[in-house]
Amino acid sequence: MNNRIPHNPDFTRLFILRHAQTALNVAGKMQGNTATPLDDEGRRQAAELAETLYDLYAIDHIFTSPYPRAVETAQFVARKYGLEVEATPDLAELGFGDIENESFTDLKTLAPDFYNQINALYSLPSIQGLGKPAYPGGESIAQIRARVAHFTDQLLEKHKGKCVAAVSHGGFIKYMFAYYLGFPLEQPIFISIENTSISIVDFVESRVIVRCFNETGHLHLPIRYSRPAVV
């Protein structure tokens, strides 16, 4: 028996899910395009995510980033619903370029200009008018915006009135929310996205409604303290 409410087909509901934990998450590395699998704790998290979603919500289709950590997470959810997953490059993690697979502290030596600019965003009393520095050798804001827009257009064209899950990555999910809320993507995004977090966005008429953000109750863990991620 589940606790689902009937879906209202006037709404297109999007479940935005971050992949479960990997060893590089634990090490504090920026994984980017790296093909990293889940670790044992990540598989436990993904199973808890799947159980919680299945108990509460109908899901008609599951999109995922093509990277193994996202695909594996999506497959845990898909098995509960008897669905296949559809991989799309639109949901891939940000391209970090020269700083991929590095920790923030390592950037002091590897990419000092980027490191100093990021530190300035955290330490200044006001960031008004300040933009986030580009990832050295990485993906541009224009490319990220285009991916969010294309994914959203395809969602509303092919799955209008349905409940759809999208398994992606912490960095890219931040840009999804900035885009949906109308924030400038060029500005720092001081939000945190935890592993296997559930966020829910409804599309109705011409509006976007954020229903739930970074929900992690299914993990039965406290929210950690951490400095905003560099992405």
Which of 107, 98, 2 is CA-nearest to residue 57? 2
**In the block, residue with structure tokens 């986030």:** 132
Q: H helices within the chain, ranges in order?
A: 23-26, 40-56, 68-81, 107-110, 112-123, 141-158, 170-181
**What pLDDT is attached to residue 126?**
67
Lowest average pLDDT, out of 18-22, 107-111, 142-146, 186-190, goes to 186-190
In this structure, the number of other CB atoms found within 10 A of the CB of residue 220 comes to: 7
Please state, in angstroms and rounded to a whole number, the distance separating the CA atoms of residues 53 and 63: 15
Residue 153 · residue 189 · CB < 8 Å: no
Lay out the sheet containing 198-204: strands in order across: 85-87, 61-64, 163-168, 12-18, 198-204, 207-215
**What pLDDT is attached to residue 46?**
98
Helix (H, G, I), strand (E, B) or coil at 143: helix
Render pLDDT for 75-132 as a digit per residue (tens, 0 to 9). 999 999 999 999 999 999 999 999 999 998 899 999 999 988 888 887 777 666 678 8
**What pLDDT is attached to residue 130?**
73
Render pLDDT for 127-156 as a digit per residue (tens, 0 to 9). 666 788 889 999 999 999 999 999 999 999
In this structure, the number of other CB atoms found within 10 A of the CB of residue 40 comes to: 9
More confidently predicted of 46 and 228: 46
- Predicted TM-score (pTM) of the model is 0.94
Render pLDDT for 27-81 as a digit per residue (tens, 0 to 9). 999 999 999 999 999 999 999 999 999 999 999 999 999 999 999 999 999 999 9
Please state, in angstroms and rounded to a whole number, the distance separating the CA atoms of residues 27 and 156: 37
Please state, in angstroms and rounded to a whole number, the distance separating the CA atoms of residues 112 and 75: 39
Please state, in angstroms and rounded to a whole number, the distance separating the CA atoms of residues 61 and 181: 24
**What pLDDT is attached to residue 65?**
98
**What pLDDT is attached to residue 230?**
57
- If you average pLDDT over residues 208-227, what whole number do you get? 91
Which of 230, 208, 43, 39 is CA-nearest to residue 122? 230
Lowest average pLDDT, out of 4-8, 53-57, 173-177, goes to 4-8
Q: Mind listing the domains of the chain with CATH numbers?
A: 12-219 (3.40.50.1240)
Q: What are phi and psi of 2, to 5 degrees?
A: -120, 175
